[in-house]
Every structure is written in structure tokens, then in C-alpha cells.
Structure 1
Amino acid sequence: MRERLRAIDTEIQVSMAGAGAMGRGLLHQCLVTPAFRCVALADIDLGAAIDCAESAEVSYEVVSDLKSLNDCIQKGKLAVCQDASLAAQADAADVFIDASNAIEEAARFCPLALEHGKHLVMMNAEADLAFGPYLMQQAAEQGVTYASCDGDQHGVIKRLVDNLRLWGFDLVMAGNIKGYLDRYANPTSIIPEADKRNLDYHMCTAYTDGTKLGVEMALLANALDLETPVPGMHGPEADHVQEVHDLFDLDTLWKEHGPVVDYILGAEPNGGVFAVGYCEDPYQQRMMNYYKMGDGPFYIFYRPYHLCHVEAIDAIATAVLDDRSLLQPEHGHVADVYAYAKKDLEPGDRLDGIGGYACYGLIENRADQEEHPGIPMTLADDVRVTTKIEKDEKIPASEVELDEDRADLRLYKKSLASCQASAVQTFS
């Protein structure tokens, strides 16, 4: 890809929402990758966007309207703004990257980017999960590409899966490796760890309480038509990924559920991912044994790292140059992440969303939601519960007050409607 980018005559011009850890990294990556140029950067915290531009030592101007933004870009400067809707409409941009952690705001600016003919690449996994099927449909109608980004675990796992399928193996499990889990972490308890890693407190909480893990694996499930065998997945503790053979009854799991998503906890390689493939071909089994992959028929393929923004650029370039997506929700809302109480909740208590004090999220199959649907974590922000809910109980969608005019709820309903008519019943 690098030589291909060096050979093209025009720049790939990027506009972006989000100047946090991922946005900062992507801006840097645009500076070091041939043919890339970031033309607009937006963040609700304007100071963070300015700091991001200054840290990257790029020439920039702060703008507050679309004309000023386009004029700034024409002068060869980075347009910095507070309103991501402006960046989504930048005339020069070929691709819009959502690297924010916004959900309700993303429901406004992501469709706007598609309306203005931009390829849309998501490094905002939460908005990707909530609205992906609708945004994918809109992208197809606009003749552009919608894609999840590479670098985060779901993108890296997808590449592993693509490889093992290319080699003739059947997918049995798409697996994540999580270092540490505390369902009850909150933005106060997480401060020492977040400060050590220079992370936003809510974001670090979402990593620690398992919500982010569930979101990433739900994205994989929706792209590859995978089930979660139990709510929240199994997640056994392990010392090394090779223990997957002993920790899971892979044969029974596969026969009962087909291919699944799951994870292991605390295992080496820390920061890695894995996938389990099945092959019963005698020749391949002999050769896999020779290659020190075991006797089979279940084989573990793993990668010891995921590199976030460093790896993201390939998926972005592929979306723009080839109109091809690394990962998108081709099977609709097969799975979602639903809110569970972090503490006892009383009527009138407010849910404060992903990475907050009130709830954590567990991945579940949508097919299991018809009788007693839960509220998706992506919608569980600034809503009040109407009944007593005990700690670790699932929060029913019927027991929360949700404003029907919210942009995120409206787009979520459109996303459900773009998949299966029966799924719309959850919030109708």
C-alpha cells in the first residue's frame, strides 16, 4: 500500500471528528503516510483540538462557519473547529473519520458526511455499533464506502478471520484477549490508571468495566453473523492464549451455536487477539502438525498486538482508493450491548452512559431480546429509570424514560428498520 500511495497523483484529504487519543494519533499518521493530508479537525473541546494541532506542529486556523473552513483549507492550513458538522461538510475532504467517543452528536454529523459524498470510516466503535446498518445503507446509496477502522481489536480480529478463511479453515471463534476486568469501575476509581495512561476517565472506565470489549465483539458479530454463547461471553481466565483448547469445549460450542465471539482474561500475549479455525482435511492436518500448530481439527491463530491509529491508515486508504470496507455490519444488528446496573438503582435515578457510574454493558444476541428487551448501552445516557433495579440486573427498555425526539434514538430506530422489520418493535 505504501508504494501505491507514493505513486498516486492526488492527496487523500481527511476531515476528522475527535482530538483525543485516537484523533491525535490519526493526525500524526496523516503526516507520516504518503499521499495523506488532514484538512479539518473538530472537537467539542476546542482547546483539545487546538492542542492537537499545535502538538503536531501544523499550520492551522480556528474557524466557526463553513465558508471560513473551506477558505482555510484552500490556503493549505488545517481548519480547527468545535462543530464536527462543519468538518463533515468540508468541500476538499475525500473521507470523514469519526474518532470521537460521541454518540448522540455522531447521529447528526456522520449522516451529514455521507450526504456530502464523503467516505465514512469509524474509529468511534459505539456510534458504529448503534447506527452502522443505517449508515452502511446510506453510504451505498451515495456511492461511497462505510467502514470500521483497523487497529482496534475488532478490525485486527477481522483480518485474522479473513486469513484463516482464505486458507480454507472454518471460523469457530473470533476471540479477544482482555488484560483486566472490573465491572464496577467508575470515573472516580479509575483516576490513577487513567492518569498513568493519559486517558479520559470515562473512556478508561469503559475499557475496564468490559463495555468497550462488548461493543467491539458486537461489531464483529454484526459483520460476520456470529453469536455470543452467553450474555457477556464466557471470558475465562488464562495464562496464555494456547489454553483456549482446554478452557472451551470447542466442538460442543460450535455444534450448538456455530461460530461465536468470546474472550479470555489476563492471558499472554497481552494486547493480542485470536481466532479459532477448524479444518478436517487430512493433508492440511498433517502439515499443520508439522508447522507446530497441533493435531487439530481446531487451530488457534493469534496476533500479539493491536496498534490502534498506527494500523488504521490501511483501512482508510482502502475505503477511498478501492471503495472497499475492512468491516461493516453486513448482517445487521445480530448482537448489541445492553445496560446492566453497576449499583442498586432507585426510581428517578439517572443512567449516565458508557464509562459512567450507573451501568456497564454486556453483549447479547438480539434474537434473545424479543420478550424482555434491554436498553442498549449506546442509548443509556441521560435517561431515568422508573423502577427499582438491583445491582447486576439487566435494565429493561420498558423501565426507562427515553426522549423520543433524541437524535441518537431516531437514528437507532432507522438502523433497526434497515435490518429487519421485526427488530423495530424493541423501541416502537
Structure 2
Amino acid sequence: MHTVSSMQTAPSNSQSPALSSSGTRPFEMRERLRGLDEKIRVAMSGAGAMGRGLLHQCTVTPAFECVALADIDIDAAINCAEKVEVPYEVVSNFAHLNDCIRNDRLAVCEDASLVARAEAADVFIDASNAIEDAARFCTAAIDHEKHLVMMNAEADLAFGPYLMQRAAEQGVTYASCDGDQHGVIKRLIDDLRLWGFDLVMAGNIKGYLDRYANPTSIIPEADKRNLDYRMCTAYTDGTKLGVEMALLANALGLKTPVAGMHGPEADHVREVHELFDLEALWQEHGPIVDYILGAEPNGGVFAVGHCDNSYQQRMMKYYKTGEGPFYTFYRPYHLCHVEAMEAIARAYLDDCSLLQPEGGHVADVYAYAKKDLEAGDQLDGIGGYTCYGLIENRADQCDDPGLPMTLAKDARLTRETPKDEKIRLSDVEFPNGQDNLQLHQKSRREQGPA
């Protein structure tokens, strides 16, 4: 099998209609799935909100079957299986896992590396929030010839180029999943490029931002939404936003115009033209990533395209999209697990990735102090009390680069760092060793600029 660029049309396998860069139309994919002789068998890590949703989708999307589910919290995995009402069995070794699957029961366990090696599985989905462990079990999945689909944006950012290269060597596909903002924005971009527009801005819509949110202050909001406290903190302090936009930057070779992006407040996405000097930004940086804050449609995404063709401009005006030459296209929602299955199916059926880091690490998310920190303080990583993350271009890093947020957990500061100051890689030591740092640096070398 071979990997196809996310910007190319995938080759046709059996029963495969022609695909645009945005993928098949939903009814075409549904019919393809209905026509398959065998199911697409999925193994998955992560039994949180996203994992539960994906497990449910595997029960309602034609030709999908989840055969194994792992979570470090075995009770969470059991609860997930029971809530979705699938027959399951808790397993603890490889033989038991494979016997369970052969008996048409979902194999549930704590060890994602065990699930990643399941003989029956065709695709491995990482829907966990692990970073360090994800490098291990995602590599195991690839080495056991599973297509790897990432719903774990943080591990995708940290190790994506390395995992993509390893997948290519094994003849399987590496892909970011659809449904989260970066995947949905990518589909918008595929569309506008197919129409003949040049990409100017890949845009996110952020509802609320508090850089200093922490797992205690976030409790009321997280409880209201039934979210994990650290996860909700990462959403609120902007780290997750940065990770999503860095994935887009690394896939498409985009830049951030400033550290953390601009993020002006807006009432509606239609105000993008008033809030950004699009001509100046495009001329200086080329296509960029950015966001607007507090705007409607809440939960939506957007992309700005450029077209200076006089006929097309007349038609776009007729279609009520503005005078041009800059046009904003937006989608009022992203549906996470609900719309994830087509990207998974295309990875399996067409060896095709919706999104992968073809440019290498052109951008990353770096740690900044949430409060005054002392020498000897231990950082608690994404969604914690000590630091938040801002997206920055790697090319803008000096000889003393920042500490990637994906590596910040458990790192210990060697000097005091005032609130809002960037934490340098040289300012920390890693008490648990530097395996992840070395893999991250190897990942940076796999593709793109050194």
C-alpha cells in the first residue's frame, strides 16, 4: 500500500469513484461502505468524550466495527462500552484479546500497546490525551501494519512527521482525523483551492479565551459540559487552539503572523475583512493561520481566499459573497466524532490522508508561564496550572528555542520565570529522561526545514 498526498486525488481501489480533494460526497462513501465484503475493523486508544463518540459512530456507520478499546483508566473503558451498549470483555494479554475479538466481543483493556497489536484490526485510532505514551503505542500500531488515524492533536503535533515517515515505510497511512477544527478547516481549504482561489488565511473561531485558566478555576464550566478539567483548561487558555492551527501550518506550509496569532474580537465572522489587513498580511507572510474571538457562528471555522479574475468577481458579487478580491468562506459548526468516519474510511480504502504534516515542523506551540515560577518548579504541561502555549513559527526561533508545550509535563525549571515569559528549552531539565525530546527532534528532521 502507498500513502497519497492529502492535496492529491487518491487512486481508485475496488468500488472507488473519482475523488475530489475534499473527498467523496457522503452518499457515495456510504454506498461504498455498504458494498464492502468485509468490515473496517478499528482498534482505539482513549475512552473519554471523543473515544465514546467514535465508538458510537462505529456502531451506526456502515461497515465499521470497533474490535478493541484501551484506556489507562479501565473503569472509563468499561463505562464507555456499557454506555454505547456493545458486548465487551476485559482482557489482559494478547491471546485473550484476540480470542475475545474472534468471539465478536469488544476487547477492553488498560494497555494501548496491546490494542495497537490486535491481529484483527485494520485501523488504529488514537483518541487519547496521552503524549509520551502515544509515541510508543502509535509506533506499535504502525509496526503492526495498522493505518494510524490521529484524534489526539497533541501527539499528532509532537511526533507527526516521524510517524508519517514511519507509516510510509510500512506501507500504511498516517492521517489526522476529521471533525475537529483543523480537519474541518482543511476541507474548506480544499474546496476553495478546487474553485481556483488562493488561500490567504486558515481561520478558527474561538468562543472565549483566558490564558490563566487552570483545572480549579475551570471546574464550573467543565462540569456544565461534562469535560475533563485539564482538557477544558487547554481549550480555555488557548493551548488547544494553537495546537490545531499548528497542525494546519505543518500540513500546508502556513505561517503565524505573530506569536499566538492576532485573534481580534468580533461579533460575526463576516467582520474578518474589517479586522485584518488581508492584503498586507498576505504580501508579507503568504498564507497564514489566525482566529477571531467571541464571534458567531460559535463553533464554526473559516478560510479566506483570493481571486482577482474579473468574471469570477462579478459572479461572486452576484452570489452575495462580497466585492473581492478577498472572500471569506465559513462553516457554522464542527462535529468532532460525528463526522470523523469518512477520513478513517479514506485512510483504509484509498490510502489517503485528510491532513498530515507534509511540511514537517514549520510551526510549534511553545510554553509560557501562567504565573511567576521559581527555579525547581515542576511544570505540569497542557491544561495545567503552570503554563499555556502559543503557536510560533519555527523559523522565528532563535539559537535558544522555546520549550514545546507537548514536552512540558514534568520538566523542571532551572531558573525563575516571570508570568507570561517564554520558557526556553535551555531553562528546563527532564528528570524522567529525554526520550520524548529526542523523538520530537527526530520528528522535526523528518521533513521540512531543519
Instruction: Say if 2:359 is the partner of 1:346.
Output: no
1:264-283 matches, cutoff 5 A: 264-283=292-311
| 1:415 alignment counterpart | 443
Distance of 2:449 and 2:217 partners within structure 1: 42
Deviation for aligned residue 1:3: 1.0
Report the AA paired with residue 51 of structure 1. N
Aligned residue identity for 2:285:
H
Structure 2 equivalent of residue 36 of structure 1: 64
Q: From the superposition, tell whether residues 393 and 109 of structure 1 become closer, same or farther in structure 2 (CA, over 3 Å).
A: same
Between the aligned partners of 1:67 and 1:375, the Cα distance in structure 2 is: 41
Matched residue, 2:11: none
Match of 1:336, SS?
Answer: strand
User: Structure 2 matches for 1:305-384, cutoff 5 A?
Assistant: 305-384=333-412
SS of the aligned residue for 1:299 comes to: strand
Could you list the structure 1 runs, at least 4 aligned residues long, displaced by more than 4 angstroms after superposition.
none
The answer to whether the 8 A contact 2:360-2:445 is kept is: no
Structure 2: distance between partners of 1:191 and 1:319: 37
Q: Quote how far apart the aligned CAs of 1:86 are.
A: 0.5
CA distance in 1, matches of 2:379, 2:366: 13
Give the equivalent residue in structure 2 for 1:400: 428
Asked if residue 159 in structure 1 is aligned to residue 187 in structure 2, the reply is yes
* Aligned: 1:238 with 2:256: no
Segments of structure 2 that go 5 or more residues without pairing to the other structure are 1-28
User: Are 2:23 and 1:23 aligned?
Assistant: no
What is aligned with 1:426? none
1:389 aligns with 2:389: no
Hey, what does 1:169 align to over in structure 2? 197
Distance 1:192 1:179 in 2: 17
Distance 1:179 1:169, change over 3 A: same
Q: Tell me the alpha carbon deviations over residues 279-298 of structure 1, each in whole angstroms, 9 at most, x when there is no partner.
A: 00000000000000011000
Quick check: 1:98–1:124 contact (8 Å CA) kept in 2?
yes
1:403: how far off? 4.5
Aligned length: 422
Unaligned runs of 5+ in 1: 423-428
1:197 paired with 2:197, answer no
Q: Deviations over 1:190-221 (max 9, x none)?
A: 00010110100000000000000000000000
**Cα gap change, 1:74/1:406 in structure 2, threshold over 3 Å: closer, same or farther?**
farther
Query: Is 2:26 aligned against 1:4?
Result: no
Q: Distance in 1 between matches of 2:382 and 2:261?
A: 19
Match of 2:84 among 44, 47, 56: 56
Secondary structure of the corresponding residue to residue 382 of structure 1: coil
Q: Which amino acid aligns with 1:80?
A: V
User: Residue type matched to 1:224 in 2?
Assistant: L
Paired residues of 1:373 and 1:397 also in contact (CA < 8 A)? yes
Equivalent residue for 1:79?
A: 107
2:127 counterpart (99, 102, 106)? 99
Does 2:252 correspond to 1:214? no
Using the TM superposition, give the Cα deviation of residue 404 of structure 1 relative to its aligned residue in structure 2, in angstroms.
Answer: 7.4
- State how far apart, in whole Å, the 2-side matches of 1:405 and 1:372 are: 20
Shift of 1:413: 2.1
Contact 1:404 1:410 (8 Å CA) reproduced: no
| Separation in 1, partners of 2:223, 2:432 | 37
Question: Match for 2:363: what amino acid?
Answer: A
1:179 is matched with which residue? 207
Distance 1:160 1:110 in 2: 28
In structure 2, the partner of 1:250 is 278
C-alpha distance in 1 between matches for 2:53 and 2:379: 31
Aligned-partner SS, 1:360: strand
Superposition TM-score, scaled by structure 1 size: 0.98
Contact 1:108 1:407 in 2 (8 A): no
2:319 equivalent in structure 1:
291
Q: CA deviation at 1:420?
A: 5.2
Verify the 8 A CA contact 1:107 1:407 in the aligned structure 2. Answer: no
- The structure-2 alpha-carbon separation of the partners of 1:185 and 1:293, relative to structure 1 and needing over 3 Å to count, comes to same
1:421 deviates by 7.4
Distance (Å, rounded) in 2 between the aligned partners of 1:121 and 1:222? 17
* Alpha-carbon distance in 2 for matches of 1:407, 1:2: 42
Shift of 1:372: 2.8
Please report how far the alpha carbon of residue 57 of structure 1 lies from its aligned counterpart in structure 2 after TM superposition. Answer: 1.0
Shift of 1:407: 3.8
2:359 and 2:448 in contact (8 A); partners too: no
1:121-161 deviations in Å (ceiling 9; x for gaps):
00000000000000000111011000000000000000000
Matched residue, 1:134: 162
- For residues 356 and 441 of structure 2, the distance between their equivalents in structure 1, rounded to whole angstroms, comes to 18
1:98–1:110: 8 Å Cα contact kept in structure 2?
Answer: yes
In the other structure, the counterpart of 1:229 is 257
What code does the residue aligned with 2:231 have?
A: M
Query: What amino acid sits opposite 2:57 in the alignment?
Result: Q
* Contact 1:274–1:301 (Cα < 8 Å) also in 2: yes
- Take 1:122 and 1:421, find their aligned partners in 2: how far apart are those partners? 23
